[in-house]
A and B are shown apart, each in its own frame.
Chain A
């Protein structure tokens, strides 16, 4: 029954392709940054880039057998969280308010 699997491409190519596929999906999501229309949409697209980038990097780390790329994914996760926090705090449409609200 497993004879048909002999035609299956080697694992590395498959993971390479998956990494590229996930990246392509993320690239399409970038359209949201351009189109908006709300600020939330743009923040979401940046968030997508973060999560998708992490997935693509984890797959990439397996393809190139470099463990350090997993560290890049970890740093991306933390800094994407930080960036999202800044979006929300600095993006609030308040004019001339000294105290920023974060609720």
Chain B
């Protein structure tokens, strides 16, 4: 019999993995650099958030759980800034000559 915490973990991690898949599909199939960036940033950060959420019940201590949550917050913060920078590069139309 599966406990409630384990069920929560399974559901959250599965959803997270699904969002990672969605992000990659978007990265590979969307027509334009900006749309790809959009898919990537939203889906991946959400995927990571769900994975972290799923791992929280399994964290050994409150400190470990806080560490997991703060890694997610850090990635969110960094992702927000970095996606703006990449968007600027995409908008400037930096194409390679290969």
Direct contact of A and B (CB under 8 A): yes
Give residues in A with beta carbon < 8 Å to B.
2-3, 5-6, 8, 11, 14-15, 18, 21-22, 25-26, 28-29, 31-32, 36-41, 43-45, 47-48, 51-52, 54-55, 58-59, 62, 67, 70, 73-74, 77-78, 80-81, 84-85, 87-88, 91-93, 103
Given contacts A37-B95, A40-B86, contact A55 B20 (CB under 8 A): yes
Known: A45-B27, A52-B44, A58-B55. Is A84-B94 also a contact (CB below 8 A)? no
Cβ-neighbour of B82 out of A37, A38, A47, A70 (below 8 A): A47
Q: Are A28 and B24 in contact (CB-based, < 8 A)?
A: yes
With A32-B27, A48-B24 as contacts: A70 and B67 at CB distance below 8 Å: yes
Q: Please, which residues of chain B bring their CB within 8 A of the CB of A14?
A: 10, 13
Bound: A31/B25 CA distance, A: 11
B interface majority secondary structure: helix
B2 and chain A: residue at smallest CB distance: A5
Q: Are A52 and B20 in contact (CB under 8 A)?
A: yes
B1: which of A2, A21, A58, A70 is its contact (CB, 8 Å)?
Answer: A2
Main secondary structure of the interface of A (DSSP, over half): helix
Residues 5-60 (chain B) with a chain A CB within 8 angstroms? 6-7, 9-10, 13-14, 16-17, 20-21, 23-24, 27-28, 33, 36-37, 40, 44-45, 47-48, 51-52, 55, 58, 60
Does the CB pair A55–B16 fall under 8 Å?
yes
